[in-house]
Amino acid sequence: MVGSLEAQQAREVEILAETQEKIGDLFILRGRAEIRFRGALLKADEITYDNATGEATAEGNAELERESDVIRADRGQYNLRSGAGRFERVRAIVRIRPREDPDLLLSSNPFYFEAESVERLADGSYVAHHGWITNCTPESAKWKLRALRAVIRPGERVRLFGSSFHLGPVPLLFSPFFTHSLQERPRQTGFLLPSIGNNSRKGFTFSESFFWAINDNADLLVGAELFSQRGWSRRAQLRILPSARSAIAVSYLGVSDWRQVAVGGQRFDQSGEFAHIFTEAVLGRGFRTVVDLTYLSSLRFRLGFSETFNEAVVSEVHANAFVSNNPDTFYLNALFRQYRNFEIRQGVSLFNPLEETSVTIAGAPLFEFGTRPRWMNLRGVPLYFSLDSSAGGLRRTDRRMETPAMVQRFDVYPRVTLPLLRTPWLQLTPTFGFRATRYGARLVEAATTPGCPPDGRSGLRVLNCALERVTSDVAVDLRLPSLARIYERRGARYRHVLEPQITYHHVNGVRDFEQILRFDETDILTDTNELEYSLTQRLFRRETATTPDASGGMEGIREVASWRLAQKYFFDPGLDGALVPGQRNVVTALASLTGFAWSLGPRRFSPLISTLKVSPGRRYEAEWRLDFDTRGNKLTSSRLLVSTAVGRDVRAWLTHFVTRNDPLLQPRFHQLGFLVSYGQLNRRGLNAAFSAAWNIRQDFLPSTVAQVSYNWDCCGIALEFRRLGLGTVRSENQFRFAFLVANVGAAGTLRKAERLF
Task: For residue range 565-603, list pLDDT tens digits in order.
Answer: 999 999 999 999 999 999 999 999 999 999 899 999 999
Query: 130 with 16, same domain?
Result: yes
Query: 223 with 263, same domain?
Result: yes
Position 458 in a domain? no
Query: 218 with 174, same domain?
Result: no
Q: For residue 305, count CB atoms less than 10 angstroms from its CB and return exposed for 0-12, middle for 13-18, buried for 19 or more.
A: buried
8 A C-beta contact, residue 256 and residue 229? no
pLDDT score at 452: 64
Position 720 in a domain? no
Question: Among the listed ranges 216-230, 491-505, 546-560, 628-642, which one has the minimum average pLDDT value?
Answer: 546-560
CA distance 391 to 439: 10
Calculate the CA 2 to chain-centre distance: 64
8 A C-beta contact, residue 241 and residue 232? no
Query: 24 with 160, same domain?
Result: yes
133 or 414: which leads in pLDDT: 414
CA distance 699 to 180: 49
Cα-only R_g, the chain? 36
Position 87 in a domain? yes
pLDDT score at 184: 66
Report percent pLDDT > 90 for the chain.
Answer: 53
pLDDT score at 708: 94
Whether the predicted pLDDT of 125 surpasses 50: yes
Phi/psi at 293 (5° precision) = -115, 130
CA distance 303 to 270: 9
Mean pLDDT of 726-739: 82
The domain that contains 41 carries what CATH number?
2.60.450.10
Whether the predicted pLDDT of 66 surpasses 90: no
Helices and strands in the chain: count of H runs, count of E runs: 3, 47
Q: Which of 18-32, 161-175, 190-204, 406-420 has the highest mean pLDDT?
A: 406-420
For the segment 226-244, what is each residue's pLDDT rounded down to a tens digit?
Answer: 999 888 999 999 999 999 9
Q: Quick one: pLDDT band at residue 139, thresholds 50, 70, 90?
A: confident
Calculate the CA 602 to chain-centre distance: 42
Position 473 in a domain? no
CA distances from 276 to 235, 309, 319, 671 (A): 12, 19, 9, 31
Following DSSP, what letter does each residue of 360-428 receive, concatenated? EEEEEEEEEEEEEEEEEEETTEEEEEEEEEEEEEEEEE-SS-B-SSPEEEEEEEEEEE---EE-SS-EE
Tally of domains in the chain: 2
Query: 40 with 84, same domain?
Result: yes
Query: 249 with 303, same domain?
Result: yes
Position 61 in a domain? yes
pLDDT score at 727: 72
pLDDT score at 555: 54
Whether the predicted pLDDT of 19 surpasses 50: yes
Range of the domain at 21: 2-189
Calculate the CA 80 to chain-centre distance: 52
For the segment 257-315, what is each residue's pLDDT rounded down to a tens digit?
Answer: 887 666 656 667 789 999 999 999 999 889 999 999 999 998 888 888 888 888 888 88
Query: 118 with 27, same domain?
Result: yes
CA distance 546 to 540: 19
Contacts of 173 (CB under 8 A, 6+ apart): 164, 165, 193, 194
Position 127 in a domain? yes
CA distance 302 to 304: 5
pLDDT score at 3: 44
Following DSSP, what letter does each residue of 53-71 receive, concatenated? TTEEEEEEEEEEEETTEEE
Mean pLDDT of 479-501: 90
Whether the model pTM is above 0.85: no
Pairing of strands 85-94, 69-79: antiparallel
CA distance 238 to 233: 17
- Average pLDDT score, the chain: 87
Query: 183 with 307, same domain?
Result: no
Pairing of strands 40-50, 745-748: unpaired
Position 302 in a domain? yes
pLDDT score at 552: 42
527 or 125: which leads in pLDDT: 527
CA distance 273 to 296: 6
8 A C-beta contact, residue 115 and residue 131? yes
End-to-end alpha-carbon separation of the chain, Å?
60
For the segment 671-702, what is each residue's pLDDT rounded down to a tens digit?
Answer: 999 999 999 878 889 999 999 999 998 888 88
Tell me the helix, strand and coil percentages in the chain, rounded to 5: 5, 65, 30
Query: 117 with 148, same domain?
Result: yes
Which of 132, 164, 189 finishes a domain? Answer: 189
Query: 89 with 197, same domain?
Result: no
Following DSSP, what letter does each residue of 279-326 receive, concatenated? EEEEEETTEEEEEEEEEES-HHHHHHH-SSHHHHT--EEEEEEEEEE-
Whether the predicted pLDDT of 456 surpasses 50: no
Q: Quick one: pLDDT band at residue 459, thresholds 50, 70, 90?
A: low
Following DSSP, what letter does each residue of 516-532 receive, concatenated? S--SSGGGG---EEEEE
Mean pLDDT of 365-373: 95
Report percent pLDDT > 70 for the chain.
Answer: 91
Sign for the pseudo-dihedral over CA of 567, 573, 578, 583: positive
Whether the predicted pLDDT of 347 surpasses 90: no
8 A C-beta contact, residue 88 and residue 75? yes
Which of 161, 189, 217 finishes a domain? Answer: 189
Phi/psi at 221 (5° precision) = -120, 125
Which of 356, 381, 402 finishes a domain? Answer: 356
CA distance 269 to 23: 86
Query: 53 with 72, same domain?
Result: yes
Position 517 in a domain? no
Whether the predicted pLDDT of 101 surpasses 80: no
CA distance 42 to 20: 16
Query: 261 with 135, same domain?
Result: no
pLDDT score at 5: 40
pLDDT score at 2: 43
